[in-house]
Structure 1
Amino acid sequence: MSTSPSPAVPVLNIANVLTVVRILLVPFFVWFLLLDDARGGLFRWLAILTFVVAIYTDKLDGDLARSRGLITDFGKIADPIADKLLIGSALVLLSVLGELWWWVTVVILVRELGITLLRFAVIRYGVMPASRGGKLKTVVQTLAIFLFLLPLEALGTWAWLVGAAVMGAAVVITLVTGADYVVQAIRLRARSRA
């Protein structure tokens, strides 16, 4: 009894469309945050709303891709890039506005850029999808950025301390998962050569 091969998943599907929407939301987020200029006014709240919507598309596109079998190589590559664009722009802008230490932004961005370059370097051996640790890293970074986007000074010292603690956890998880991706890349290369 022969089995026919399963049909290829089209690149143009709802999960990938949501990933592209997330990429397109980044300039609006940046624009709103720059217009606010650390004043905590309407544009700040529009930036927060745009960030939340963009992050929700990340969860939604992942859920849809898994539940409907819409996982594609494009999605495996574009999804983490969309996350990095959103998170990277948020970190840089928060540092430019003087609301986040530059060393935090530099550490996270260097790790993100390094892992993205590593993914492209090993793509001929296979695609490295996001790991559970990588997903946890994204969740914690997102929460930390969300807390820093809130007008923390108006909310009081406790809010700033919570935000700083979550951002510290994000930095630690970012570094640990970065090391894990390096190990994955080495194993992927070794397996393909064997």
Structure 2
Amino acid sequence: MTGVPASAAGGPSGAQGARGTAAAADGVASEVSGSASAPGAAVPGRSASGGESAADATAEGRPARGGKITAAAVNQASVWNVANLLTMLRLVLVPGFVALMLADGGYDPAWRSLAWAAFAIAMITDLFDGHLARTYNLVTDFGKIADPIADKAIMGAALICLSSLGDLPWWVTIVILGRELGITLMRFLVIRYGVIPASRGGKLKTLTQGVAVGMYVLALTGWLASLRFWVMAAAVVLTVATGLDYVRQAIVLRRQGIAERAAALEETEA
């Protein structure tokens, strides 16, 4: 037949043409592969920086090389955020507050004013660090542990100093600190069943305690000295009332947790 190429007829020249086309395709593929292997290019199974990609490693069912190191570095860097720095500042202020509070026998109005300033800074930072951590996703394991320790440390130091100087009855210090430590321990005990959230009463208690202790730290006289007595009395009442409410919540949470586990066990056995 005329007008039909030899390659289409299946002759030798056609076979050679097909092999030539395949070789050309292989050459193009090799060229592309070579350019992808150049510095800065992405290669299957490798990240842009030359490391193994997380997607390929996940597809093979194993962790990417260097993934744990990178995650650890990120977690370590995240500790130094604004919220944690404020918590660290509160911890540093505790010994400074005690030194100012007990300076010159503990009754000098000037030193007591400086001690009040340190206490006020600590209480103000307590209001901001938790909010910053939750709002900007700065929550870390360090913050979860250090924040409550810093809170109890500054409040406990103030109460113990006031009682040791005779400005505040020891039973008030024992009630407040006993409640704080007891509720903290109870939260750890029931955390397997859930988390007890901070209530409005608890926040009001913290605010009232801060105001009352701050007024006692200052060398007040006259009607202000009488007013601080009633503010502290309100703080003690709120301390006891909210403590009992947290105990009630813990009991309910534990019962619900036990009931849910029993129901889940029955469904599993069924």
TM-score (ref. length: structure 2): 0.62
**Which of 71, 81, 91 is the matching residue for 1:23?**
91
| C-alpha deviation, 1:146, in angstroms | 0.7
Instruction: Look up the equivalent residue of 1:23 and give its one-letter code.
Output: L
The answer to whether the 8 A contact 1:76-1:127 is kept is no
Instruction: Look up the equivalent residue of 1:97 and give its one-letter code.
Output: L
Unaligned runs of 5+ in 1: 1-7
| C-alpha deviation, 1:129, in angstroms | 4.0
What per-residue deviation string (whole Å, max 9, x for no partner) do you get for residues 159-191 of structure 1? 111100100000000001101111222233233
Instruction: Look up the equivalent residue of 2:158 and give its one-letter code.
Output: A
**Which of 94, 101, 107 is the matching residue for 1:33?**
101
Q: 1:127 to 1:56 in 2, by over 3 A?
A: same
Is it true that 1:57 corresponds to 2:125 in the alignment? yes
Distance (whole Å) between structure 1 residues aligned to residue 242 and residue 177 of structure 2: 13
Q: 1:36 to 1:186 in 2, by over 3 A?
A: farther
The answer to whether the 8 A contact 1:76-1:129 is kept is no
Is it true that 1:122 corresponds to 2:187 in the alignment? no
Which is bigger in relative contact order (C-alpha 8 A, separation at least 6)? 1
Distance (whole Å) between structure 2 residues aligned to residue 177 and residue 81 of structure 1: 20
**Which of 242, 249, 253 is the matching residue for 1:177?**
242
Q: State the percentage of identical aligned residues.
A: 56
Distance (whole Å) between structure 1 residues aligned to residue 112 and residue 104 of structure 2: 5
- Of stretches 86-95 and 127-136 in structure 1, the one that deviates more from structure 2 is 127-136
Q: 1:186 to 1:18 in 2, by over 3 A?
A: same
Alignment partner, residue 43 of structure 1? 111
Corresponding residue pairs, total: 185
Q: 1:72 to 1:129 in 2, by over 3 A?
A: farther
Root-mean-square deviation (CA, aligned residues, Å) is 2.3
Instruction: Look up the equivalent residue of 1:79 and give its one-letter code.
Output: D
- Of stretches 56-65 and 160-169 in structure 1, the one that deviates more from structure 2 is 56-65
Unaligned runs of 5+ in 2: 1-73, 261-270
SS at match of 1:37: helix
| C-alpha deviation, 1:77, in angstroms | 4.5
